[in-house]
Amino acid sequence: MDLLNTLVDKGLRRELPTREEALAVLATSDDDLLDVVAAAGKVRRQWFGRRVKLNYLVNLKSGLCPEDCSYCSQRLGSTTGILKYTWLKPDEASQAAAAGLAGGAKRVCLVASGRGPTDRDVDRVAGTIKAIKDQNEGVEVCACLGLLSDGQAERLREAGADAYNHNLNTSEATYGDITSTHTYADRVDTVQKAHGAGLSACSGLIAGMGESDEDLVDVVFSLRELDPDSVPVNFLIPVEGTPLAKEWNLTPQRCLRILAMVRFVCPDVEVRIAGGREVHLRTMQPLALNLANSIFLGDYLTTEGQAGKADLEMIADAGFEVEGAGEVTLPEHRATAGGGCGSHESAGSGCGSHEGAGCGSHEGGGVCGTSAAAPAVSEPRTDLVAVRRRGAGTDLAPNA
The more confident residue out of 399 and 18 is: 18
Residue 349 pLDDT > 50: no
The more confident residue out of 380 and 316 is: 316
The residues with which 141 forms a beta bridge, in sequence order, are 108
Catalytic choice (44, 75, 107, 109): 109
For 327-348, how does the pLDDT look when each residue is reduced to its tens digit (9 = 90+)? 999 999 998 875 444 443 333 3
Catalytic choice (44, 75, 144, 202): 202
For 274-314, how does the pLDDT look when each residue is reduced to its tens digit (9 = 90+)? 999 999 999 999 999 999 999 999 888 877 888 899 999 99
352: closest CA among 296, 282, 287?
Answer: 296
Catalytic choice (69, 255, 266, 341): 69
Backbone angles phi and psi of 141, in degrees to 5:
-125, 130
Residue 207 pLDDT > 80: yes
Residue 353 pLDDT > 70: no
Q: Residue 72 catalytic?
A: yes
Look at residue 345 in the predicted model and tell me its pLDDT: 37
Q: Residue 109 catalytic?
A: yes
Overall average pLDDT of the 140-158 stretch: 97
Overall average pLDDT of the 247-256 stretch: 96
The more confident residue out of 3 and 341 is: 3
Q: What is the mean pLDDT of the chain?
A: 89
For 83-118, how does the pLDDT look when each residue is reduced to its tens digit (9 = 90+)? 888 999 999 999 999 999 999 999 999 999 899 999
The b-or-e profile of 253-290 (16+ CB within 10 A means b, else e) is ebbbbbbbbbbbbbbbbbbbbbbbbbbbbbebbbbbbb
What residue ranges do the domains of the chain occupy? 2-384
Look at residue 220 in the predicted model and tell me its pLDDT: 98
Overall average pLDDT of the 147-165 stretch: 97
Look at residue 369 in the predicted model and tell me its pLDDT: 41
Catalytic choice (44, 75, 107, 142): 142
Look at residue 375 in the predicted model and tell me its pLDDT: 58
For 232-246, how does the pLDDT look when each residue is reduced to its tens digit (9 = 90+)? 999 998 888 888 999
Q: Residue 266 catalytic?
A: no
Fold of domain 2-384: TIM Barrel (3.20.20)
Distance CA 293, CA 306 (A): 17
The more confident residue out of 216 and 347 is: 216
Q: Residue 202 catalytic?
A: yes
